[in-house]
């Protein structure tokens, strides 16, 4: 049987790969999971009652683009958060933001550009769906280092002109997964200007936007509106998974210009899975409420401060500006993760599992990613064990 060649070189996904690395070895202590970005803070109190009141909604097909009430709640949140007013034709609900990040590339990336194979740019390391989306449309994925030397954000402007001229899509994540770097308004403005010069679209993954340390990160919609950029240049993705501690709700949204949204919406009408109506009702309430977000962020602030104290003096430690990961320097990520598991029971992710070899180097090889998603008490135990094992 023949299979697609375009996926033949995909590495094994990070978490099955991690299980192969660690699970043959007994943990050196009570296991502490610090691998996956699954928030374990309390869900909002209103989730259960709203689900119970809307159970009959599982008996009907839900609206594909989102209920009018949900779209209104999202639009109102965008106005409060970014000062931007969007009409419903510029919004669509997603069944998980990963779906949107994948399908938007399919809907918007041309088969070729200037008579050559299109390019999709992405930071390296990165959320792995970006690469799969590029390969699905037959584009050339270009992995751009996001290292300490570049402020842990990709320097797309440094790429050769011929690469930029073939670029159709550029992914950006801010706050960045895994490094926690926050793109400034100037960075985003420069990226939009670069996109205008070379005629490409920016897909902004802003799923960690509500977990920040000092100030709310600027958003691409906000910057685009402020400089009068073509709204079709910016495609923005948000989620309730991290913001509201609801990863199982699978609720997010995509926003862009009306032409881009028309194409994304049309593709989804053929191939997408709409969010069940009771879940849309929960999402309506979640986007309308900030109290639970503020309370959750306070817990992250507590854990950020703990990490700063724990790793004070560790060479190369960079406090994250947002998100809930630590990107810790080590000699070798796999060796460090295995040592940590075998000696302490703390489970972390090797950075190379989130990166690709490019130019003879893997920018994640010398790092581990540590998720600060557990309670402050469990997080403190894990961080202390990690410091004593790896840096002691």
pLDDT digits (tens, 9 = 90+) for 1-56: 888 888 888 889 999 999 999 999 999 999 999 999 999 999 999 999 999 999 99
DSSP state of 358: B
Quote the pTM value. 0.96
Handedness of CA 78, 372, 347, 316 (dihedral sign): positive
Give bridge partners of residue 204 from the DSSP assignment: 172, 236
Three-state secondary structure call for residue 34? coil
> Largest Cα–Cα distance of the chain, in whole Å?
58
Average pLDDT, the chain: 96
pLDDT over 70, % of the chain: 100
Q: At 327, phi and psi to the nearest 5?
A: -115, 95
In angstroms, the CA 43 to CA 295 distance is 11
Look at residues 239, 223, 240, 243 and name the one whose alpha carbon lies nearest to residue 231. 223
Q: Which domains, and CATH codes, for the chain?
A: 5-42+292-391 (3.90.1150.10), 47-289 (3.40.640.10)
> pLDDT confidence of 343, banded at 50, 70, 90?
very high
**CA neighbor of 166 nearest in space, from 110, 125, 217:** 110
Q: What is the mean pLDDT of residues 116-126?
A: 97
H helix or E strand, kind and range, residue 112? strand 112-113
Per-residue pLDDT at 234: 98
pLDDT digits (tens, 9 = 90+) for 192-224: 999 999 999 999 999 999 999 999 999 999 999
């Amino acid at each position: 049987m023949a299979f697609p060649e375009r996926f033949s070189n995909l590495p094994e996904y990070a978490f099955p790969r991690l299980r192969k690395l660690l699970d043959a070895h007994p943990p050196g202590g009570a296991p502490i999971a610090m691998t996956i970005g699954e928030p374990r803070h309390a869900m909002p109190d209103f989730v259960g009652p709203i689900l119970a009141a809307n159970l009959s909604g599982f008996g009907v097909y839900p609206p594909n683009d989102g209920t009018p009430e949900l779209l209104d709640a999202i639009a109102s949140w965008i106005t409060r958060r970014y000062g931007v007013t969007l009409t419903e034709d510029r919004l669509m609900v997603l069944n998980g933001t990963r779906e949107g990040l994948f399908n938007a590339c399919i809907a918007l990336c041309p088969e070729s550009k200037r008579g050559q194979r299109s390019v999709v740019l992405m930071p390296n390391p990165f959320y792995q769906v970006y690469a799969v989306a590029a390969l699905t449309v037959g584009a050339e994925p270009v992995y751009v280092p996001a290292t300490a030397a570049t402020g842990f954000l990709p320097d797309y402007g440094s790429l050769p002109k011929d690469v930029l001229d073939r670029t159709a899509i550029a992914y950006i994540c801010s706050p960045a997964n895994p490094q926690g770097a926050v793109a400034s308004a100037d960075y985003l403005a420069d990226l939009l200007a670069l996109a205008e010069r070379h005629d490409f679209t920016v897909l902004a993954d802003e799923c960690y936007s509500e977990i920040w340390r000092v100030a709310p990160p600027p958003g691409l919609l906000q910057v685009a509106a402020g400089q009068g950029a073509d709204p079709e240049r910016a495609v923005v993705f948000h989620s309730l998974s991290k913001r509201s501690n609801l990863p199982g709700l699978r609720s997010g949204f995509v926003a862009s210009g009306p032409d881009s949204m028309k194409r994304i919406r049309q593709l989804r009408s053929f191939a997408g899975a709409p969010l069940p109506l009771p879940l849309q009702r929960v999402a309506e309430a979640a986007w309308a409420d900030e109290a639970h977000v503020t309370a959750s962020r306070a817990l992250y602030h507590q854990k950020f401060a703990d990490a700063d104290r724990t790793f004070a003096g560790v060479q190369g430690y960079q406090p994250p500006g947002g998100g809930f990961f630590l990107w810790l320097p080590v000699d070798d990520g796999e060796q460090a993760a295995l040592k940590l598991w075998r000696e302490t029971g703390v489970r972390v992710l090797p950075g190379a599992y989130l990166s690709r070899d490019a130019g003879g180097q893997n920018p994640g090889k010398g790092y581990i990613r540590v998720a600060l998603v557990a309670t402050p008490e469990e997080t403190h135990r894990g961080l202390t064990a990690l410091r004593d094992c790896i840096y002691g």
